[in-house]
Amino acid sequence: MSNVPAELKYTKSHEWVAVDGETATVGITDHAQDLLGDMVFIELPDVGTSFEKGDDCAVVESVKAASDVYSPLSGEVVEVNEALADNPEAVNNEPYASWLFKIKMSDTSQLNDMLDADAYSGVAADDSH
């Protein structure tokens, strides 16, 4: 059973978002890291890059496969978690502490389209078998 914190928002493509004012912190879920297995490389976007909601903006590469991370929201990257370059396994060990990047949202109304913890738990359960 994967961990799905109640205070976060989620996408169907297994990203999580923590909101603080206009800034959204983005990572991948416990379910996603469990599906992918041990992380070996993480490729993060450049600070200052703008993305539209749904754009591929990062890559998490595990022993099993490389997987795109999609921006859950539109906006500009204001910070990336550079510590992950030397410690990609942190995403396996602490998926909700090991954020990938922070975005300054250009349209906070997009948050209304995101999944809450209950809805995401359903998505994760559906693709576990």
Partner 1 sequence: MGKQTPLYDKHVVMGAKMVDFGGWDMPLRYGSQIEEHHQVRKDAGMFDVSHMSVVDFTGTDTRQFLRKVFANNVDRLTTSGKALYTCMLKPDGTILDDLIVYFMDENWFRVVFNASTHDKDLAWVKEHAKPFNMEIIEPPNMAMIAVQGPNARAKVGAVFDEPIRSEIAGLAPFTAAHFGDLFISRTGYTGEDGFEIILPASQVNDVWRSLYGEGVKPIGLGARDSLRLEAGMNLYGSDMDETTSPLESGLGWTVAWEPEGRDFIGRAALEKIRNEGTTHKLVGLILEGKGVLRNHQKVIVKGQDGGEITSGGFSPTLGKSIAFARVTKDISGTCKVEVRGQQMVATVVKLPFVRNGKSVQ
The residues binding partner 1 (CB under 8 A) are 37-38, 40-41, 43, 59, 61, 63-66, 89, 92
Q: Would you say 61 or 76 has its CB closer to partner 1? A: 61
Contact by Cβ (8 Å): 12, 122: no
Q: Would you say 6 or 129 has its CB closer to partner 1? A: 129
Provide the minimum distance between the beta carbon of 7 and partner 1 in the complex, in angstroms, as a whole number: 27
Q: Would you say 6 or 63 has its CB closer to partner 1? A: 63
DSSP H helices in 42-99: 90-93
Q: Would you say 40 or 47 has its CB closer to partner 1? A: 40
Provide the minimum distance between the beta carbon of 5 and partner 1 in the complex, in angstroms, as a whole number: 22
Which position has the token pair 């349209």? 107
Buried b (16+ CB within 10 A) or exposed e, 113-123: ebbebeebbeb
Provide the minimum distance between the beta carbon of 91 and partner 1 in the complex, in angstroms, as a whole number: 12
Provide the minimum distance between the beta carbon of 11 and partner 1 in the complex, in angstroms, as a whole number: 22
DSSP letter string, 11-57: -TTSEEEEEETTEEEEEE-HHHHHHH-SEEEEE-PPTT-EE-TT-EE
User: 23 forms bridges with which residues in the sheet?
Assistant: 20, 104
